[in-house]
């Protein structure tokens, strides 16, 4: 993301973050007016009850630059977070792979092969969750938000503790009194998501 102020009208940009939030935080620091252009920021990152995948407490995107994540999440812009709690529900089962292979184009077979290889490489560490789709869940949400459910909560990112740095601290029950700053998703209709994925891939060459 460029640190130059977008020329779009206020509240018109939907921004998708699939990795650490360093560049977005830098843009907000160098050009604070850029935040006002954003209608919604959709973040793939964090974890609620799932906790971490690179440390016992932290998800990768939050752990890489927790200070940037804290700046962005506390920026006051509308934020939707798609955490591991959701993406680990999106497992590519054999029937779902078969549906991709059955598509009458090159794309279906290619994506099925990529997903199968992805799963083989990750299975020793993550077991069945090696089949989970993470970044595509953001696009799935933008296309079909009705497939997802969540809660308006306060989210804070731990930046100090050596044990839990990068941890996504989600105030599920409103016990801290901190203001709501995110819509934190918790469930997804996995069947509907894979139907959408298969449909969209089927429209490609």
Tell me, what DSSP letter sits at residue 160?
Answer: S
- Give the strand order in the sheet containing 148-157: 13-17, 38-44, 79-82, 182-188, 148-157, 168-171
∠ CA 100-105-110 to the nearest 5 degrees? 55
β-strand partners of 15: 41
Which residue, among 184, 187, 203, has the nearest Cα to 81 in the 3D structure? 184
Q: Is 134 a catalytic residue?
A: yes
For residue 15, count other CB atoms closer than 10 A to its CB.
19
DSSP string, 95-111: HHHHHHHTSSSHHHHHH
Catalytic residues: 134
């Amino acid at each position: 993301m460029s640190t130059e102020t977008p020329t779009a009208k206020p509240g018109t940009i939907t921004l998708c973050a699939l990795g650490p939030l360093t560049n977005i935080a830098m843009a907000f620091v160098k050009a604070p007016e850029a935040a006002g252009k954003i209608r919604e920021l959709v973040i793939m990152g964090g974890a609620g009850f799932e906790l971490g995948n690179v440390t016992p407490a932290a998800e990768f995107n939050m752990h890489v630059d927790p200070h940037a994540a804290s700046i962005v999440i506390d920026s006051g812009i509308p934020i939707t977070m798609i955490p591991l709690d959701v993406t680990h529900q999106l497992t590519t089962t054999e029937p779902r792979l078969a549906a991709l292979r059955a598509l009458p184009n090159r794309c279906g077979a290619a994506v099925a092969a990529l997903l199968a290889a992805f799963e083989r490489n990750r299975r020793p560490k993550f077991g069945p969750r090696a089949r989970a789709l993470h970044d595509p869940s953001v696009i799935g949400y933008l296309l079909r938000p009705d497939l997802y459910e969540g809660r308006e909560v306060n989210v804070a990112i731990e930046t100090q503790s050596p044990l839990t740095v990068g941890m996504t601290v989600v105030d599920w029950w409103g016990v801290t009194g901190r203001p709501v700053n995110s819509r934190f998703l918790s469930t997804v209709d996995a069947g509907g998501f894979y139907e959408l994925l298969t449909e969209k891939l089927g429209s490609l060459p």
